Amino acid sequence: MNNKLTRRGLLKTGAVGGAGLALPTIFTSGASAFTNEPMGGTVTLGFNVPQSGPYADEGADELRAYQLAVEHLNGEGDGGMLNTFSSKVLEGNGILGKKVEYVTGDTQTKSDAARASAKSMIEKDGAVMITGGSSSGVAVAVQGLCQEAGVIFMAGLTHSNDTTGKDKKANGFRHFFNAYMSGAALAPVLTKMYGTDRKAYHLTADYTWGWTQEESIVAATEALGWETVNTVKTPLAATDFSSYITPILQTDADVLVLNHYGGNMVNSLTNAVQFGLRDKIVNGKNFEIVVPLYSRLMARGAGENVKGIFGSTNWHWSLQDEGSKAFVKSFGTKYGFPPSQAAHTCYVQTLLYADAVARAGSFNPCAVGEALEGFEFDGMGNGKTLYRAEDHQCFKDVLVVKGKDNPTSEFDLLEVVEVTPVEQVTYAPDHPMFAGGALGSCNPGA
């Protein structure tokens, strides 16, 4: 059996080959056997991010965060969140003494390309863990592949309920929050600001994230008195949303909910403002726009148009806890600007994986999974956090934010208006929005 892992440390951009390769090589060590067991002095991680497509800005920031995490794990730089993480088993000497190296792939914000990229990193590059994504469609697809291949998938930015709902897998873990949590956090703030007698029109990205985000916001707002006038699906590849905005003007809707992310949200919000929606008075009320899932990168892209618009976010660089400050300092020193929420969750996931390996004393994905299940931690920017064993979803506080009226810089665009406590966004593992799938058993690939 060939124990040599090839091309370690090669920065491989745009790798989408490997679809016709054989099954992953199984490396054995003593009584254990699992996919890509690291045999030498290094271990390879696979960073699979959108370097092209509508979520490319998020992907670029994710990759920056992954590179920073590798530096910190290998004892370079100032250590970042290793200094604030409640678990203290990581010592800056790699993972279990093995130097961390990495390969990258471009998901292109397409599920097929993402699977091919991840497959290549596992089969050709010997990656023992895959992480990344900014599209939930991509995350669900790659999570399924990792389950089949016998490697751990540490999801990056994925917000669909399905990732840890009907499409959850034993080898997959999500730190990022989800659509249900956005609805639970955001709806009470919206009704407080805009009243309970509102009529909402939804434009929704036509894939798994958009569907579950729409479902979550509709349920949460209708429970508090809002009426849903219409829900319209839009293609993920769309760049001009004018034809979707015009029909809104013919209804009595007084709120537009944009279940869009990344470049989609920038373009749809810009079109809505161009059509004068924010200047309209409907049903005797100011017309309002809501963006359920926000990010600093989107806010920068949309510019002036985000002022006063509410949404939710997993994390924000302005938080003043010790973990957030340490990460912002490290990231800012290296790159010259603050990190996005996408960068934050990817950095944290890399450290959480490394920590789980160290606590388990093994790279075996089943041992790693056991170390992550039920793990409670702090010091990573979100307060006390639980990796729930039943569905591999992290539970933590959620931020409600809005676009600042008077930003002081191109990065100071969002303000935190509420830190929603974890209790308000927690749901039962068998909640109907997450039903339909089984976690199954860990697959070590042997």
CATH 3.40.50.2300 domain residues, the chain: 42-177+317-395, 180-313
- Tokens representing 265? 């949200």
Q: Which amino acid, one-letter code, is at 189?
A: V
- Tokens representing 156? 């990056």
Q: Strands, E, within 118-254: which ranges?
A: 129-132, 152-155, 172-174, 199-205, 227-234
**Residues, the chain:** 446
Radius of gyration of the chain from Cα atoms?
Answer: 21
If you search the block for the tokens 């810089």, which residue do you land on? Answer: 409
Q: Is the pLDDT of residue 133 over 60?
A: yes
3-state secondary structure of 235: coil
Identify which of 12-16, 20-24, 110-114, 174-178 has the greatest average pLDDT.
Answer: 174-178
Q: How far is the CA of 108 from the CAs of 113, 162, 192, 436, in angstroms?
A: 6, 21, 39, 28
Instruction: Output the CATH code of domain 42-177+317-395.
Output: 3.40.50.2300
Of all residues in the chain, the percent with pLDDT exceeding 70 is 93
The whole-chain average pLDDT of the chain stands at: 91
- Tokens representing 137? 């469609």
For 330-357, b/e burial (b = at least 16 CB within 10 A) is: bbeebeebbbbbbbbbbbbbbbbbbbbb
Q: Is the pLDDT of residue 7 over 50?
A: no
Nearest to 376 by CA among 397, 394, 390: 394
**Three-state DSSP string of 68-123:** HHHHHHCCCCCCHHHHCCCCCCCCCCCECCEEEEEEEEECCCCHHHHHHHHHHHHH
- pLDDT single digits (tens) 147-181: 999 999 999 999 999 999 999 999 999 999 999 99
- pLDDT single digits (tens) 338-374: 999 999 999 999 999 999 999 999 999 999 999 999 9
**Burial of 104 per CB tally in 10 Å (0-12, 13-18, 19+):** buried
Q: Is the pLDDT of residue 15 over 80?
A: no
Domain 180-313: CATH superfamily is Response regulator (3.40.50.2300)
Cα 21 to Cα 8: distance, rounded to the nearest angstrom: 18
User: Does residue 346 contact residue 65 with C-beta atoms inside 8 Å?
Assistant: yes
Q: Which amino acid, one-letter code, is at 374?
A: G
Cα 200 to Cα 263: distance, rounded to the nearest angstrom: 22
Give every CB contact of residue 336 below 8 A, 6+ residues apart in sequence: none
If you search the block for the tokens 């990258």, which residue do you land on? Answer: 104
3-state secondary structure of 44: strand
Cα 28 to Cα 32: distance, rounded to the nearest angstrom: 6
pTM of the model: 0.91
- pLDDT single digits (tens) 179-232: 999 999 999 999 999 999 999 999 999 988 999 999 999 999 999 999 999 999
